[in-house]
Structure 1
Amino acid sequence: MAEIQVEPIELYGLSKKQQIKTLFSKIGIVGCGSVGQNIARIASVYGIEVVFIELSQEKIQEAYDQMSRVLDQRIESWGMTQSEKKAILARIKGSLDYNDLADCDFVIEAIRSQAHEERKINERKEVFHRIEEVVSPECIIGTNSTTIIITELSSELKHRERCVSLHFFVQSPEARVCEVVRGLYTSEDVYEKVKKFVVMVNRLVIPVEEAAGLISIRLFSSLLNEACEVLMEGVGELPDIDKVMKIGFGMRFGPFELADILGLDKMVRWMDNLYSEFGKTKYKPSPILKRLVRAKRMGQEVGAGFYTYDENGRMIDNAHFKTFNV
């Protein structure tokens, strides 16, 4: 009887170099505030592995807790199951080490905004440099910024052609649209790949030429300022102005509700940036906005803005607008 030869099956497997890696099988996110959490959830829902970088274990845990709460709302209102929630969170990993981004196909900078615009730009440039130090030359680097120009952020990198800007809509996580911005150095190949990524996560690509504010923030800033002007003139009361835009024009949120969701401090920074960029008074923040920010009424996240909210972000009072004395 012939001797049976036994050979290890590993000899016939592909080596790591030979294995074909699916594009965007893993992405990285630097900063996991509301924007980073939104991107992480969206990507994970569609089977993409996500690693996010934060500054401390406390912030990592906070991000997990907030994502868990959002998914619980999906279970309650959208029919998601507990097993789906577990699978989504299992694909998301928090880390303090930039080296964990090394095998990502796409890394998106989404750090929290700072009060001083120049400091924010410098901080984001530093993030871009740290990303470039650890990722492969083929990895795409992006930012979710709306008012900072991607060309400026990428101008000092070795591979500037792989940088791009995109804008996911955090005010409505179910909004299936994403603005994608090509910088001065962005290559056609990178731009097309990023558009494929947006389609992969079931979002409609909105191509946007590089400009502060893109389409979304420029339009909404003007709307919010005019709504504040109408309120100050006494033409209508705050909740009624929101109702006109929601019921009359089919908006999901009125301008004051949406500003609270975005964050009034963030709106003021965006508008200051637009006013500095274009010099048009329609972008200059309304005195009402500045007054609320000075009073630390930043919006839904802190429990008070134009409206007040409970610990779950649900509106509990819409009468305090009568106390405005502008």
Structure 2
Amino acid sequence: MQIIAVIGAGTMGNGIAHTFAQSGFKVNLIDINEVALENGLRTITKNLDRMIAKEKISEVDKKETLSNISSFTDINEGVKTVDLVVEVATENIDLKLKIFKQLDSLCHQHTILATNTSSISITQIAAVTSRPEKVIGMHFMNPVPIMKLVEVIRGYNSSDAVTNTIMELSKSLGKVPVEVNDYPGFVANRILMPMLNESIETLYNGVAGVLEIDTVMKLGMAHPMGPLQLADFIGLDVCLSILNVMYDGFKNPKYAPCPLLTNMVQAGKLGVKSGEGFYDYSESRKAEKVASQFIK
């Protein structure tokens, strides 16, 4: 495994590219939007500078990491020589199916196709390719350079060889991979999202306010971040999308999104990324600064 393609230069995509590049892999970071690519590379540089300031890496390490990353707006050029593709596009099933059909036609037959989806069926994605045994989930946590967990999700046809390769690859990144099976929400979000949704329901029902709910969970349950603050950090639109996937998959009302969450997303209050969610981030200089207070 020598060359990795990462499709999508947003928060998760640039974090995954950063992590692979810092571990010595050559990375092709791909995004059809040139501005998104520039912003992604800028974020990687800032995160490396933060690591230098904390004396976790040297200036030489930073230069080597950045030299390992090449950027592309042409997906064909970006994936034609790679050993692994990690797709990090928006959590939209139609978009992901379109991308994987394209990847299947562009990549060498030996190339493993992974998705960073947090809830969408790996089996369904794999079914649009001619290599379902080489399609797998590789779900990183945000912020990727810091968080240790990688959920490795086996689709119905994912081979043992491919699964073992991704497990070992994750370990080489300094991560802790956990193998899970392909059911809506997998493990992380199947447990996390109902908790976040119930916290929003608690607010919606007038049981307590935002600060009170978060304080109970931080001080009473030893959570590093309250659930409403965490939902803002993840993105309320992302939370809504995952809950909808789980509700559609299980047909169980316990996964139905709270009306307050739905209304907030429709109103454009998405959390940190929009400047307002359960908390007001409008006075912060940048969303990155808000997020960085949680990265120690």
Say whether the fold is shared (TM-score over 0.5).
yes
Separation in structure 2 between the aligned mates of residue 217 and residue 266 of structure 1, nearest angstrom: 11
Q: Which residue of 1 aligns with 2:69?
A: 92
CA contact (8 A) 1:307 1:315 kept: no
Separation in structure 1 between the aligned mates of residue 202 and residue 17 of structure 2, nearest angstrom: 38
Separation in structure 2 between the aligned mates of residue 85 and residue 45 of structure 1, nearest angstrom: 8
Task: After TM superposition, list the pairs within 5 Å mapping 1:304-319 onto structure 2.
Answer: 304-309=276-281, 310-313=284-287, 314-315=289-290
**Counterpart pick for 1:106 among 75, 78, 84:** 84
CA contact (8 A) 2:132 2:158 kept: yes
Partner AA of 2:14 in structure 1? Q
State yes or no: 1:133 paired with 2:96.
Answer: no
Worse-matched range after superposition: 131-140 or 188-197 = 131-140
Displaced runs of 4 or more, over 4 A: none
Q: Which residue of 1 aligns with 2:294?
A: none
Deviation at 1:172, TM superposition (A): 6.2
Worse-matched range after superposition: 174-183 or 228-237 = 228-237
Deviation at 1:77, TM superposition (A): 4.4
Give the RMSD, CA atoms, in angstroms: 1.9
Task: After TM superposition, list the pairs within 5 Å mapping 1:242-281 onto structure 2.
Answer: 242-281=214-253
Partner AA of 1:112 in structure 2? T
Worse-matched range after superposition: 50-59 or 72-81 = 72-81
Q: What do the CA deviations read for 1:199-250 (whole angstroms, capped 9, x no partner)?
A: 1111111111111111111111111121122223333321222122223222
CA contact (8 A) 2:18 2:145 kept: no
Separation in structure 2 between the aligned mates of residue 315 and residue 101 of structure 1, nearest angstrom: 34
Deviation at 1:302, TM superposition (A): 2.0
Separation in structure 1 between the aligned mates of residue 188 and residue 141 of structure 2, nearest angstrom: 9
Using the size of structure 1 for normalisation, the TM-score is 0.82
Deviation at 1:285, TM superposition (A): 1.3
Q: Which residue of 1 aligns with 2:31?
A: 54
Q: Which residue of 2 aligns with 1:183?
A: 155
Q: Which residue of 2 aligns with 1:299?
A: 271
Deviation at 1:173, TM superposition (A): 4.2
Q: Which residue of 2 aligns with 1:68?
A: 45
Structure 2 spans left out of the alignment, 5+ residues: 292-296
Q: Which residue of 2 aligns with 1:233?
A: 205
Deviation at 1:47, TM superposition (A): 0.9
Deviation at 1:294, TM superposition (A): 2.2
Give the 3-state SS of the residue equivalent to 1:141 in structure 2.
strand
Partner AA of 1:138 in structure 2? H
Task: After TM superposition, list the pairs within 5 Å mapping 1:140-151 onto structure 2.
Answer: 140-151=112-123
What percent of counterpart residues are identical?
Answer: 27
State yes or no: 1:26 paired with 2:3.
Answer: yes
Larger Rg: 1
Matched residues, number? 287
Give the 3-state SS of the residue equivalent to 2:98 in structure 1.
helix
Worse-matched range after superposition: 207-216 or 302-311 = 302-311
